[in-house]
Structure 1
Amino acid sequence: MADDKRPVNSQPQGTAPMLVGGNRNARNFPIDSDGRRDWSYGLLDCFDRRGLYCWTMGCPCVVYSKNRQRLRSLQNQGRPLVGGGERYDKQCCIYCALSFSGFCWAIKMQSRTRAEVRERYGIREDSNGDYITSWCFAPCALTQERREIELEENSF
């Protein structure tokens, strides 16, 4: 190996900092002593976004699936999912099949999507509330979850 006698003309450069995520409380809701807060939008605020609400009424399986994909991207990659995710995947098909029998709430409970949204954003509620909300108010629950995810995505 030959000795390299050339002078050093530059210093090593640092790398860009890693993205660790967006704002998980974009609307700056007050946080209780237990570190919990309310949902950024109420359950019945689903009617404020009529287009999204109509989408959850007509194709809840697509909204459910995209919510899962977007949440996974934020959790695993620390950034929003480019393009918002695939419309039709395995989870979408399962949700659709179960919705014909009235058991679409079961996949939401099994996958824990609502619970994962609450845990990620420090939202107070419990699994019983998740169950009742997902069973009785499925379109509003999907809309509420989607809007919470969008707040973080928009903060990037």
Structure 2
Amino acid sequence: MSYEKQQPDHGQQQFQAHQPGAKTMMSPGGGNRNALNKPFNTSGDREWSYGLCDCCSDFGTWCLSCWCPCMQYSKNKTRLEFLDRNGRPEPNGGEACGSGCWTYGCLAAWCGLGWIMQIGTRHDVRQRYRVEGGTCGDVFFSACCHSCALTQESREIKLEETHYESAV
């Protein structure tokens, strides 16, 4: 917040506060982590770029998240890890049938708890993109709205990947 002195005509000083606007977050490699320029709150966090209920706008991702959540989870996780490690998008769009997929799938099939795997990845996505929220929300959305949550996370990652692709 910046302050400017303003001198009224009667000789008293007044201060006027200016709120900071939205800032573009860049990763070390140049990827835009706030591609839609969402405004940040006073804690330095912002809203998700797309709402949880906006999942059908990316119908293909939502279908994969709905019918094969283990594959979408694995793709999200490998894409995010690749961005962190290499500073560029995963060239194959993520590994759909990796170890994360098998672990998620086994947990889902044996005891209905595959969504537990999502909690950590959702947290990592929120941290990378400075999205507001907390662990309780991560647990709730992963458990109750897993396909929409997976789609929302994928779309957030895709915005950064698209920024890299357009910079090439």
Q: Same fold (TM over 0.5)?
A: yes
Instruction: Compute the displacement of 1:52 (Å).
Output: 1.4
1:64 aligns to 2:49 (yes or no): no
Q: 2:155 & 2:44 partners in 1: Cα distance?
A: 21
Structure 1 unaligned spans of 5+: 1-18
- How far the C-alpha of 1:21 sits from its partner, in A, is 3.4
The Cα RMSD (Å) is 1.0
Q: Is the 8 A contact 1:21 1:74 kept in 2?
A: no
Distance in 2, matches of 1:21 and 1:105, equals 32
Q: How many residues align?
A: 136
Query: Who is 1:131 aligned against?
Result: 139
For residues 2-151 of structure 1, the aligned pairs below 5 Å read 20-100=29-109, 101-109=111-119, 112-151=120-159
4+ residue segments displaced more than 4 Å: none
Greater C-alpha radius of gyration:
1
SS at match of 1:152: helix
Cα separation, 2, equivalents of 1:108 and 1:52: 15
Q: Percent identity?
A: 46
Q: Which whole-Å CA distance do the structure 2 matches of 1:82 and 1:113 have between them?
A: 20
Normalised by the length of structure 1, the TM-score is 0.84
CA distance in 2, matches of 1:29, 1:118: 14
Taking structure 2 as the reference length, the TM-score comes to 0.78
